[in-house]
């Protein structure tokens, strides 16, 4: 790797660097993610950008010997900071809802000749592609929650191409104070409720770590968020009903991710606490944030 490249946070699945000489970000992905899969991600991002959603421009994708290199516009700004009142407030929560509602509304008209991204179907529910990695006890919970989704009918108002990892860590506040959504690497054809569950999951989790307003945070966040979402897209009742299911699936997804990527013999105190908390919540089937019905915030 060139010494001039600056490593950015690529998460657990990719290497991401800023290249100052061309003012671009490059994402380096293993070839288990095919070029066709990445091309469809790029097409989706371009469609969103052309229809008013702030996302980075995509330059090109290069097929290297062992990896795929995708070049993106570098967004000058800062990641949303839950400790800053200027970032973390009702206006931001509403704007997050508006952005996601706009994405889901646009998803209804986005046409593809063939599906290259992961897709949830009643026959293949493992859209997160983790079932084969799960231990028996975890797989049992995972299957139960996925089976709960079989009770719902897929419609244009509840299902489509979604971001699939939409949370404050993937939002940049640019130099004009606009919110720009990044990291579409996990985009999938899935239930809209997944996006709503993920944004709340991470907002609540990080807020509880840094702020002292947890007693009323859920109501403040979800009320503003739903208002923003409804300004751009129809909020179907099934989306609201499915949010608790996807919150539990997020716990399973994160638990599996952490035990795979973390050094379990050298865990920090916060890592051990996180794993213990996830384990207890999954086994006890505890509603995330103590909420089993999100319709009270609509």
> 191-216 burial string, b = 16+ CB within 10 Å, else e?
bbbbbbbbbbbbbbbbbeeeeeeeee
Give the CATH fold of the 78-297 domain.
Aminoglycoside 3'-phosphotransferase; Chain: A, domain 2 (3.90.1200)
User: What is the per-residue pLDDT for 66?
Assistant: 84
Start-to-end CA distance of the chain, whole Å, equals 49
User: What is the per-residue pLDDT for 10?
Assistant: 59
Give the CATH fold of the 6-73 domain.
Phosphorylase Kinase; domain 1 (3.30.200)
User: What is the per-residue pLDDT for 212?
Assistant: 83
The single residue listed with the structure tokens 């638990």 is 255
- Here the tokens at position 126 are 């493992």
| Per-residue pLDDT tens digits of the chain, which is 298 residues long | 566 888 887 566 788 999 999 999 999 998 778 899 999 999 999 999 999 999 999 999 999 888 999 999 999 999 999 999 999 999 999 999 999 999 999 999 999 999 999 999 999 999 999 999 999 999 999 999 999 999 999 999 999 999 999 999 999 999 999 999 999 999 999 999 999 999 999 999 999 999 987 789 999 999 999 999 999 999 999 999 999 999 999 999 999 999 999 999 999 999 999 999 999 999 999 999 999 999 999 9
DSSP codes, 128-168: TS-GGGS-HHHHHHHHHHHHHHTTS---TTTEEEE-SS-SG
User: What is the per-residue pLDDT for 214?
Assistant: 78
User: What is the per-residue pLDDT for 65?
Assistant: 80
Say if residues 51 and 107 touch (Cβ distance below 8 Å). no
What's the pTM value of the predicted model, to 2 decimals?
0.95
Say if residues 295 and 237 touch (Cβ distance below 8 Å). yes
Q: Residue ranges of the domains in the chain?
A: 6-73, 78-297
Backbone angles phi, psi at 214, to 5 degrees: -65, -25
């Amino acid at each position: 790797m060139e010494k001039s490249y600056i490593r950015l946070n690529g998460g657990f699945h990719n290497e991401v660097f800023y290249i100052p000489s061309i003012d671009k970000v490059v994402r380096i992905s293993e070839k288990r993610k095919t070029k066709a899969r990445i091309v469809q991600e790029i097409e989706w991002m371009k469609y969103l950008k052309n229809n008013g959603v702030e996302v980075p421009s995509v330059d090109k994708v290069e097929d290297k010997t062992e990896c795929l290199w995708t070049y993106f516009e570098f967004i000058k700004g800062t990641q949303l900071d839950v400790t800053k009142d200027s970032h973390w407030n009702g206006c931001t929560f509403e704007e997050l809802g508006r952005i996601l509602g706009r994405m889901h509304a646009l998803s209804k008209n986005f046409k593809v000749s063939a599906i290259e991204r992961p897709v949830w179907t009643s026959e293949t529910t493992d859209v997160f592609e983790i079932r084969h990695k799960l231990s028996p006890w975890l797989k049992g919970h995972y299957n139960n929650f996925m089976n709960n989704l079989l009770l719902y009918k897929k419609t244009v108002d509840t299902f489509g191409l979604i971001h699939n990892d939409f949370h404050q860590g993937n939002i940049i506040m640019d130099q004009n104070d606009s919110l720009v959504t990044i990291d579409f690497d996990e985009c999938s054809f899935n239930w809209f409720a997944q996006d709503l569950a993920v944004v709340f999951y991470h907002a609540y989790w990080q807020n509880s770590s840094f702020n002292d307003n947890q007693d009323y945070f859920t109501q403040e966040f979800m009320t503003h968020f739903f208002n923003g979402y409804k300004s751009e897209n129809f909020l179907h009742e099934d989306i609201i009903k499915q949010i608790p299911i996807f919150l539990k699936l997020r716990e399973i997804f994160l638990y599996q991710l952490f035990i795979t990527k973390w050094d379990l013999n050298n865990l920090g105190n916060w890592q051990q606490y996180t794993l213990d908390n996830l384990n207890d919540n999954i086994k006890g089937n505890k509603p995330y944030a103590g909420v089993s019905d999100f319709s009270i915030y609509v």
